[in-house]
Amino acid sequence: MHILEFKSVSKSFSDKNILEDISFSVRQGEIFGLLGPNGAGKTTLIRLLLDILRPDSGEIRIYGDLLSPAAKDRIGYLPEERGLYRKTKLLDMLVYLAQLKGMPKKQAHLNAETLLNSLDLYQYKNKKVEELSKGMQQQVQFLSAIIHEPELIILDEPFYGLDPVITKAIKARILELRAAGKTIILSTHIMEQAQTLCDRILMLNKGRRVLYGLVDDIRKEYGKNSLIVEFAENADLNTIREISGIKKVVESGKFVEIFPEEGVNIQTLLEELVQRANLLRFEQALPSLNEIFIETLESAASE
Amino acid sequence: MNKFPGNKFPRKTFIVARHEFLKTIKRKEFLFMTFLLPFLFAGITLLPVIFSGMSPIKDQKVGYIDMTDAFEFPEPIRSEGLSPGSSEAKTSAIEFVMYSDIFDARQALQAGQISSYLVIPEDFLESGTIELYSLEKEAPVSNFELSAELSGIVITSLLKDKVDEPTLNRVLDPVNIKFYNIEKSGESSGRGIADIFASFGLPILIAFLLLFSIFSSSGFLLRGVAEEKENRIIEILLSSVAPSEILTGKILGLGAVGLLQIGIWLAAVVVGSGYALPIKIEPNTLFFALVYFVLGFLFFASMMAGIGAITSSLQESQQIAGILSFAAALPLIFLQPIITNPDSSSSVFLSLFPLTSPVAMLTRMAVSSVPVYQILASVFILFVSVHGVILLSSRLFKAYLLMYGKRPKVKEILKNVWARSD
């Protein structure tokens, strides 16, 4: 089931195209990565789907319906630009934000206490936000995005500025939410995170869709069909280059990358290698999202 | 599928309004404005009275040398105070001490037995001059009081045996005006000074309170918007609530704050005056005061909200707001001309111009009978302006709430205001 659908959505600000003809859909229960360099249009796309901005053309559907105030209530949002009421008591603020999402006060109160308890922040519930440490504030900010039990959660650069401990905690939370059947849209420009967390991605560059699909499919598609090999001790690379069917051997620190010729049997190649050196690692190399990302940007720039 | 049934459009507006209301009345600035301002105000008006009442409390002894030998000084005389006919106990007292020659009086003055002495010269009847001597460092007795004292003594002494007592009393206290209004029915009703205050002072007081309250609550609105923009929480709000709901909620919440504030102030005035004020405001005045408060507040509040949306920092927004507040305060500067000349063309203009009309019109209505068509025109112009400003502000709200850092150029703003965005 598609939870979110963009159909040929375009948006421009004073004659500058921010998004051009963007189409994609998000499935229920997946972590969907929204990738792209700064200025690619990620934040604008998020604001469109939150109905903060309206598209110039195209259609946005949530749960199959056009955007409506009721649909907005079922979305949770962690903006890139963090903000909390600094002088408001923690509990009051969470309850207020949940109420604005249409949750009854009692339920909001209950949820706020449960969530604060789960993060060991319960004893601070009557403290003002500005009295909390920065790490606590970041966690509270995350809570404010999920307190009203949204089915679709949008996280814009959720790990930005977090220390490793909190990053780990929030990552765990995100996976928990997915396990509970929630759908998560994760906007980031850090590709490693997207690669480890996301099921599918949409990559934007200069307002255009450049990549879209399953992370694994994209990596295979961009695969250079190379092999990563690590030897136990320094092997003589020249003897390896002599193996028939090897086009190129590239030394790359502790391991070497071997590019076989088209149609070569990988199994035969492995046997040849084993005869010439002690192998520690032998795997088919898939480019990281980061490499694909950079390659895509570079090819776009040279166009 | 709606997860939370009963979630209708106005509910979020109400939630925003309640949040703004509770947040604002807990602000230190609000508590200060609301509870200390009446005291400051009362202090400023009452202090001179208190001080003038306090200084003469210690009895002052004034010596006199009467060279005409024609005056009878009561001994000691308790001063009768300022307002004739009032029965209140007097705090001041001047005791007159007779000296037969100037040398004795001077010695007594230097010895500190008296604070000053008077010399009534022989040619007093012709010149009317009395000389007052006191030590340089010492402040002489209140001139006003002494003068009133002496006038009484002179009149009494001169006329005592020549006219009857009622005539003497009339010379001492010639006229007390009592005001009457002839109503349409032909009946007349008496009006004392208190009634005049009720029909004149009270509306002006209300106009003042109105202005203060509009200033303070629309100021809070501006602060609120600028703060939410500055700390970026506005983005979370916008992802939950429509801009128009936020704007309406804020205006309603802070309007309630303004009404509460006026209520507290009026209560303070009533209690502070020891319930002496006849709160017998004409229903008309009360009705228009309410109309002007609501419209005036909406006008300024939505304007402030628009400014808050455009500017990127609190400081910047306050600078712009200051200019508008100055415009709103203009009627206070022109209060005197409006009161003395309520029907002049400039007064009429100020009472029609939306920035100044609430205070100017209420003031005019207090001092003269303003033609009904002018009142209606003023309310109508204000109403239309309110509508325009709300429309304008909600557009600015939509267009600029998410822009940080740079202030948009005037041209851009105008473009956004005129362009129909949806």
Same domain assignment for residues A184 and A243: no
pLDDT of the residue at B184: 53
Tally the C-alpha atoms within 13 A of residue A89's C-alpha that lie toward its C-beta.
16
Kindly state whether residue A296 falls inside one of the protein's structural domains: no
The region that residue B278 occupies, defined by phi over 0 for left and psi between -120 and 50 for alpha, beta otherwise, is beta
Whole-number Å distance between alpha carbons of B302 and B282: 30
Question: Lowest-confidence range among B46-60, B77-91, B320-334?
Answer: B77-91
Residues B8-24 have a mean pLDDT of 84
Most confident of B11-15, B215-219, B303-307, B393-397: B11-15
The size of the A-B interface in CB pairs under 8 A is 69
Closest-CA residue of chain A to B227? A85
SS3 state of residue A32: strand
Out of B15, B23, B234, name the one closest to residue A99 (CB): B15
Same domain (yes/no): A215, A228: no
Question: Position of tokens 């009622």?
Answer: B166
Among A250-254, B81-85, B188-192, B344-348, the range with the most confident prediction by mean pLDDT is B344-348
pLDDT band at B409 (very low <50, low <70, confident <90, very high): low
Q: What share of chain B is helix, strand, coil (3-state, %, to 5)?
A: 65, 5, 30
Q: Is residue A297 domain-resident? A: no
Average pLDDT over residues A207-214: 89
Smallest Cβ distance to B233: which of A50, A85, A149? A85
The closest of B209, B412, B225, B405 to B304, measured between CA atoms, is B225
pLDDT of residue A27: 93
**Contact assignment for B232 to A72 by CB distance below 8 Å:** no
When comparing pLDDT for A22 and B135, which is higher? A22
Same domain flag for A198 and A138: yes
Please check whether residue A291 lies inside any domain of the structure. no
The reply to whether A280 and A188 lie within a common domain is no
Instruction: Identify residue B233 by its one-letter amino acid code.
Output: I
DSSP code of B77? B
The region that residue A8 occupies, defined by phi over 0 for left and psi between -120 and 50 for alpha, beta otherwise, is: left
Residue A293 lies in a domain: no
Contact assignment for A52 to B422 by CB distance below 8 Å: no
- The answer to whether residues A41 and A69 belong to one domain is yes
pLDDT for the residue numbered B183: 52
Residues A37 and A83 in one domain: yes
User: Across all residues in chain A, what is the average pLDDT?
Assistant: 87
A181-185, B289-293, B395-399: lowest mean pLDDT where? B395-399
The domain boundary residue, chosen from A199, A220, A241 = A220
Confidence of residue B380 (pLDDT cuts 50, 70, 90): very high
Pairing mode, strands A246-252 and B60-66: unpaired
Residues A109 and A196 in one domain: yes
Q: Last residue of a domain, which of A177, A194, A220?
A: A220
Structure tokens at B297: 């507040």
Residue B223 pLDDT greater than 90, yes or no: no
Partner-chain contact A103 B404, CB within 8 Å:
no
| Chain B contact probe: residue of A44, A45, A81, A156 with most B CBs at under 10 A | A81
Considering only CB atoms, A100 lies closest to which of B23, B235, B240, namely: B240
The answer to whether residues A209 and A264 belong to one domain is no
CB neighbour burial string for B18-38, b if at least 16 within 10 angstroms, e if fewer? bbbbebbbeeeebeebbeebb
pLDDT in tens, A278-296: 888 888 878 788 888 888 8
pLDDT given for residue B86 in this prediction: 39
Chain A residue with the nearest C-alpha to that of B403: A81
| Opening angle at CA A188, ends A100 and A172, nearest 5 | 70
Give the pLDDT mean for B170-183.
Answer: 71
ipTM over 0.95: no
User: Percentage of chain B surpassing pLDDT 70?
Assistant: 71
In a domain, A301, yes or no: no
Residues of A within 8 A of B422 (CB-CB) are 54
3-state DSSP assignment of residue B212: helix
pLDDT at A191: 83
Q: What is the pLDDT of residue B182?
A: 60
CATH number at residue A272: 3.30.70.1510
Tokens of A91: 């509990």
Say if residue B8's pLDDT is above 70.
no
Q: What is the domain extent for residue A247? A: 224-285
The pLDDT of residue A106 is above 90: yes
Average pLDDT of span A4-26? 88
Question: Prior bond to B76 cis, omega within 30?
Answer: yes
For residue B137, what pLDDT is reported? 62
B231 and A83 in contact by Cβ < 8 A? yes
Q: What is the CATH number of the domain that holds A84?
A: 3.40.50.300
Last residue of a domain, one of A185, A220, A255: A220
pLDDT at B6: 45
- Whose CA is closest to A161, among A182, A195, A190, A126? A190
Domain annotation covers residue A99: yes
What residues pair up with A229 in beta bridges, in sequence order? A256, A282
Per-residue pLDDT at B77 exceeds 70: no
Between B4 and A122, whose confidence is greater?
Answer: A122
Please indicate, yes or no, whether residues A211 and A252 belong to a single structural domain of this protein: no
Average pLDDT over residues A251-267: 82
Q: What is the pLDDT of residues B48-65, one digit of tens each?
A: 555 555 544 456 778 888
* Number of Cβ atoms within 10 Å of the Cβ of A66: 10
- CB-closest option in A50, A84, A149 to B239: A50
Q: What is the pairing mode between strands A75-78 and A152-156?
A: parallel
Query: Residue A260 has what pLDDT?
Result: 84
- What six digits make up the tokens of B280? 């017998």
Residue B81 has pLDDT above 60, yes or no: no
Which residues of chain B are within 8 Å of residue A79 when distances are taken between CB atoms? 232, 235-236, 239
Q: pLDDT-derived band of residue A179, with 50, 70 and 90 as boundaries?
A: very high
Chain A residues near residue B4 by CB distance under 8 angstroms: 73, 102-104
Structural domains in chain B, CATH included, are 9-41+192-418 (no CATH), 60-176 (3.40.190)
Q: Is the pLDDT at A272 greater than 80, yes or no?
A: yes
Whether A129 and A272 share a structural domain: no
Asked if A216 and A263 sit in the same domain, the reply is: no
pLDDT of residue B2 exceeding 50 = no
> Which pair of structure tokens corresponds to residue B132?
């007052």
Q: Strand, helix or coil at A89?
A: strand
For residues B5-11, average pLDDT: 55
- Binary contact (A83, B402; C-beta < 8 A): no
Given a cut of 60, whether residue A85 has pLDDT beyond it is: yes
Of B1, B231, B238, the CB nearest to A52: B238
Q: pLDDT tens, A53-82?
A: 888 899 999 888 888 878 888 899 998 877
CA B99 from chain center: how many Å? 49
**Position B196 pLDDT exceeds 50:** yes
Query: Is residue A8 domain-resident?
Result: yes
- Alpha carbon of B330: minimum distance to chain A alpha carbons (Å): 35
CB contact under 8 A, B232 and A81: yes
Give me the pLDDT at residue A152, please.
Answer: 93
Number of residues in chain B: 422
Strand pairing report for A208-214 and B188-191: unpaired
The answer to whether residues A137 and A161 touch, using CB atoms and an 8 Å cutoff, is no
Clarify whether residues A228 and A186 are in a common domain. no
Q: Structurally, how many domains does chain A consist of?
A: 2
**Coil, strand or helix at B185:** coil
Q: In chain A, which residue's Cα lies nearest the Cα of B28?
A: A87
State residue B362's pLDDT score: 82
The whole-number pLDDT of residue A224 equals 67
**How far off is chain A from B302, nearest CA to CA, in Å?**
20
In terms of Cα–Cα distance, which of B181, B195, B201 is closest to B363? B201
Give exposure, B370-395, as e/b (b: 16+ Cβ within 10 Å). beeebbebbbebbeebbeebbebbbb
Question: How far does CA B175 lie from the centroid of its chain?
Answer: 29
